[in-house]
Structure 1
């Protein structure tokens, strides 16, 4: 088998069918399997998924008996994967044939444990590309929170090896991809970066975990991965300033702003922090968020 694709699902039937059609198209000619791991979806939803699985030999469905999170689902998928090369994909994301072929070629180097890379965010008819520069051997926390890089689960592919398992941290309900990278580099994984394109993340659907702020989850991540490094915590907090503004969440902005070490701020984050602090002092924080959101949506058109 050439590869396995692991997709966590939860009440995903309404859009999963379209994305599975995309997967079948781009994977034509390969020997592959798609492992759907369901996190206790509603009965009507999972009934539709069962129908899809019954109609396609490439699909496998694992139904969890207890609700948990996507990290648990991904780790179950890795254990079930029949192929050595495993791709991860969220249920509303997709990739291209060119991406798969490029990754398989990179994975021919059996010393590489993990590959992640660039992606594009899709919002309606708008597509925005994101590219970073991860250097082999870099610590995950340095790349993410000092160099302000990023990793998304749908860009990750791994090679399964006996005695070496790089899994998603199951205790996290948010920031699981960040935790995956930090864990992997701390454990000595050989991590490579794919500078090519071909992964598309649909950010237009409401309910995506990456669009939601969760201060408890942030504290949990900081406690587990970043203490006692103020510089890493500061970088982590900076990544949430704009989201706090866009969502008009003043309490979240105040929290993340309080974790920032001022002398480490770039000019970009200094401007964001000053803007948010100024609007909060005027009692106009929600208006400030709406103005930024309007400007962002204008650029997307």
Structure 2
């Protein structure tokens, strides 16, 4: 078999068909399978009825609820394809992604490829292309947190002929795709960045597995994978801005807690983090941050129009 697409599901019967159709629409001439790995959903009966309409879809029901990392590993273990793609149940593959990525794997000898994506915005009619910095090798933590890159599971693909065996960390309940990329780097995988969008991601739907602030899960990632201060500080900066935009006081305090200043600039940053994370000031600080982001986006659009 040529292609396996692994889709973790949890209460996804109402919207997963869009993901299925995005795969099926580009499988002409390809032997393929789609593995739905269900995490003990409440809507299993509806999901089973949906699966019956698609010949190439297999439903794998886990015996106990865990997390999406376990689901992806289970799908990977049971996959029969030479190429494995991962897709979240509320996302879709971009047109032409399967065959283009297969060719990239063959031509480059890369075992793992990730890259850009299209984000579906709030009105669901517009798509915004991510513009991630290209990964050019080196420590994946530097790419993710210092260069402010990104790895999304729905953009990941593996070629088993070149793959060195990297799996998701079953213990991670947050930042699972980042952790996979860090593990792939340490596993000695040949990692390749794809500048073309591979997935259409619904970044607005409430309840995405990665959207809730789970501090215990974040502590695990920091303790297990971010041992050096400069990586931990870069992670803290990135996550603090996200926490501030949500006015999540507890998450902001956690980012302050893990930040270890080593020079005057970092001491200045820590003082700013602490001030903006004060219960009395967090609302105003969040509003100023959102205003600054809007102005920057408007500036970017204006510059693009002038060019």
Once the two structures are TM-superposed, the CA of residue 53 in structure 1 deviates from its matched residue by 1.3
Give the equivalent residue in structure 2 for 1:73: 71
CA deviation string 1:249-279 (max 9, x = no partner): 1121122134335568999xx88983x5444
SS at match of 2:178: helix
TM-score (norm 2): 0.86
Residue by residue over 1:53-110, the C-alpha shift from the partner in whole angstroms, topping out at 9 and shown as x without a partner, is 1121110010001111101110111111111100000001112232222201112147
The within-5 A match list for 1:145-294 is 145-161=145-161, 164-227=164-227, 229-262=228-261, 274=272, 277-281=274-278, 283-289=280-286, 292=289
Report deviation, 1:296: 6.1
* Superposed displacement of residue 202, structure 1: 0.3
Structure 1 residue 218 displacement after superposition:
1.3
Q: Secondary structure at the match of 1:142?
A: helix
Describe the SS at the equivalent of 2:60.
strand
Residue 141 of structure 1 corresponds to: 141
Q: Residues 246 and 286 of structure 2 are in contact (CA less than 8 Å); yes or no, is this contact kept in structure 1?
A: yes
Count of aligned positions: 293
Gaps of 5+ in 2: 299-307
Q: Would the aligned equivalents of 1:96 and 1:198 in 2 still touch at CA under 8 Å?
A: yes
- Over 3 Å counting, the alpha-carbon distance change for 1:90 and 1:266 in structure 2 is farther
Q: Structure 1 residue 41: deviation in Å?
A: 0.3
Query: What is the match of residue 57 of structure 2?
Result: 59
Return closer, same or farther for 1:30/1:96 CA change in 2, 3 Å cut-off: farther
Residues 278 and 104 of structure 1: CA distance in aligned 2, closer, same or farther (over 3 Å): same
Whether the 8 Å CA contact 1:118–1:132 is kept in 2: the answer is: no
Alignment CA distance shift 1:281-1:182 (3 Å): closer
Runs of 5+ in structure 1 lacking a partner? Answer: none
C-alpha distance 273-133 of structure 1, shift in aligned 2 (>3 A): farther
Deviation at 1:282, TM superposition (A): 7.5
Deviation at 1:164, TM superposition (A): 3.7
Preserved CA contact (<8 Å) 2:133 2:147: no
CA distance in 2, matches of 1:265, 1:178: 29
TM-score, scaled relative to structure 1: 0.87
